[in-house]
Chain A
Amino acid sequence: MGHSINGVPSHKIAKMGISRTFQNIELFNGLTVQDNLMAGRHFYMTGGFWGSFLGGIYFGKAHREEIQQRRIVEEIIDFLEIESIRKQIVGTLPYGMRKRVELGRALALEPKLLLMDEPMAGMNLEEKEDMARFVLDIYEERVDTIVLIEHDMGVVMDISHRVVVLDFGRKIAEGTPEQVKTDPDVIKAYLGNKS
Chain B
Amino acid sequence: MDADTISKLFKQSCDRYGDKKIALRHKKFGIWQTYSWKYFWDQAKYFGLGLVSLGYSKGERITIVGDNEPEWYYAMFAAICCGGIPTGAYQDSLADEIKFVINQSGSIFVVVEDQEQLDKILEIKDDIPQIKKIIYWDPKGLRFYDDPLIISWEKVLELGREYDRSHPGIFEKFIAESQPEDPVYLTYSSGTTGIPKGILHCSRSTMASSAAWDAPDPTDEKDDFFSAFPLAYGAEFIYMIPAFLRGGATVNFPEEPETVEQNIREIGPSKGGAVPRMLENYVSFVQVKIADSTWLKRTIFNLLMPIGYRVARMKRNNLKINIFWKCLYGLYYFMVARPIRDWIGYTGLKVLMIGGASMAAEIFDFFVALGLDARMIYGMIECAPTAVHRAGDVDYETSGVPSPGCDIRITDEGEILTRGPMRMLCYFNNPEATAKLIDASGWVHTSDAGFITDKGHLVCIDRIADLLKLKDGTGFSPSYIENKLKFSPYIRDAVITGDDQDFVGALISIDFANVGKWAETHRIPYTTFVDLSQKKETYTLIKKDIININKKLPERQRIRRFAILHKELDADDAELTRTRKLRRKEVVRRYQDIIDSLYSDKTEYHAEARVKYRDGKIATIKTAIQLATLEDN
A191 near B: Cβ within 8 Å? no
Tell me the residues in window 156-192 of chain B with beta carbons closer than 8 Å to chain A beta carbons: none
Most chain B CB within 10 A, of A77, A78, A86, A125, is at A78
Interface residues of A, dominant DSSP: helix
B259 near A: Cβ within 8 Å? yes
CB distance from B256 to the nearest CB of A (A): 5
Contacts of B28 in A (CB 8 A): 78
* B258 in contact with A84 (CB, 8 Å): yes
Find B614's partner among A83, A86, A126 (CB 8 Å cutoff): A126
The residue in chain B whose Cβ has the minimal distance to the Cβ of A134 is: B141
State A75–B30 Cα separation when bound (angstroms). Answer: 9
B-contact bits for A55-91, CB 8 A (1 contact / 0 none): 0000000000000001100110111010110100000
The residue in chain A whose Cβ has the minimal distance to the Cβ of B261 is: A84
A140 and B141 in contact (CB under 8 A), knowing A71-B29, A83-B30, A125-B615?
yes
* A137 in contact with B141 (CB, 8 Å): yes
A-B contact count (CB 8 A): 37
Contacts of B256 in A (CB 8 A): 81, 83-84
Contacts of B141 in A (CB 8 A): 133, 136-137, 140-141
The residue in chain B whose Cβ has the minimal distance to the Cβ of A140 is: B143
- Please tell me the number of chain B residues within 8 Å of chain A, measured between CB atoms: 15
A83 and B259 in contact (CB under 8 A), knowing A77-B30, A78-B28, A126-B614?
yes
Tell me the residues in window 248-300 of chain B with beta carbons closer than 8 Å to chain A beta carbons: 255-256, 258-259, 262
* A84 in contact with B29 (CB, 8 Å): no
* B259 in contact with A84 (CB, 8 Å): yes
A140 and B258 in contact (CB under 8 A), knowing A83-B30, A125-B615?
no
Tell me the residues in window 480-510 of chain B with beta carbons closer than 8 Å to chain A beta carbons: none
State A136–B140 Cα separation when bound (angstroms). Answer: 11
CB distance from A81 to the nearest CB of B (A): 7
Tell me the residues in window 141-182 of chain A with beta carbons closer than 8 Å to chain B beta carbons: 141
The residue in chain B whose Cβ has the minimal distance to the Cβ of A86 is: B30
A129 and B615 in contact (CB under 8 A), knowing A81-B256, A137-B141, A141-B140?
yes
A-contact bits for B334-349, CB 8 A (1 contact / 0 none): 0000000000000000
State A84–B31 Cα separation when bound (angstroms). Answer: 13
A-contact bits for B457-501, CB 8 A (1 contact / 0 none): 000000000000000000000000000000000000000000000
Tell me the residues in window 101-148 of chain B with beta carbons closer than 8 Å to chain A beta carbons: 140-141, 143-144
Contacts of B29 in A (CB 8 A): 71, 74-75, 77-78
The residue in chain A whose Cβ has the minimal distance to the Cβ of B256 is: A83
Contacts of B259 in A (CB 8 A): 83-84
Contacts of B615 in A (CB 8 A): 125-126, 129
A-contact bits for B11-45, CB 8 A (1 contact / 0 none): 00000000000000000111100000000000000
Find A137's partner among B30, B140, B258 (CB 8 Å cutoff): B140
State A84–B265 Cα separation when bound (angstroms). Answer: 13
Most chain A CB within 10 A, of B141, B259, B262, is at B141
Contacts of A125 in B (CB 8 A): 615
Contacts of A75 in B (CB 8 A): 29
CB distance from A85 to the nearest CB of B (A): 9
CB distance from A155 to the nearest CB of B (A): 14
State A71–B143 Cα separation when bound (angstroms). Answer: 23
The residue in chain A whose Cβ has the minimal distance to the Cβ of B614 is: A126
B-contact bits for A108-135, CB 8 A (1 contact / 0 none): 0000000000000000011001000100
The residue in chain A whose Cβ has the minimal distance to the Cβ of B143 is: A140
State A48–B262 Cα separation when bound (angstroms). Answer: 35
Contacts of A140 in B (CB 8 A): 141, 143-144
State A74–B614 Cα separation when bound (angstroms). Answer: 29
CB distance from B192 to the nearest CB of A (A): 29
* B143 in contact with A83 (CB, 8 Å): no
B-contact bits for A32-56, CB 8 A (1 contact / 0 none): 0000000000000000000000000
State A84–B143 Cα separation when bound (angstroms). Answer: 26
CB distance from A140 to the nearest CB of B (A): 5
State A129–B614 Cα separation when bound (angstroms). Answer: 12
Tell me the residues in window 578-633 of chain B with beta carbons closer than 8 Å to chain A beta carbons: 614-615
Write 25 A-B pairs (CB below 8 A) sorted by A numbering: A70-B30, A74-B29, A74-B30, A74-B31, A75-B29, A78-B28, A78-B29, A79-B140, A83-B30, A83-B256, A83-B259, A84-B255, A84-B258, A84-B259, A84-B262, A86-B30, A125-B615, A126-B614, A129-B615, A133-B141, A136-B141, A137-B141, A140-B141, A140-B143, A141-B140
Q: Which 10 A-B pairs have the closest CB atoms?
A: A74-B29, A84-B258, A137-B141, A84-B259, A83-B255, A83-B256, A140-B143, A74-B30, A83-B259, A78-B29
Interface residues of A (CB under 8 A from B): 70-71, 74-75, 77-79, 81, 83-84, 86, 125-126, 129, 133, 136-137, 140-141
Other A-B contacts than A70-B30, A133-B141, A140-B143, 17 sampled, CB-CB below 8 A, are A71-B29, A74-B30, A74-B31, A75-B29, A77-B29, A78-B28, A83-B30, A83-B258, A83-B259, A84-B256, A84-B259, A84-B262, A86-B30, A126-B614, A126-B615, A137-B141, A141-B143
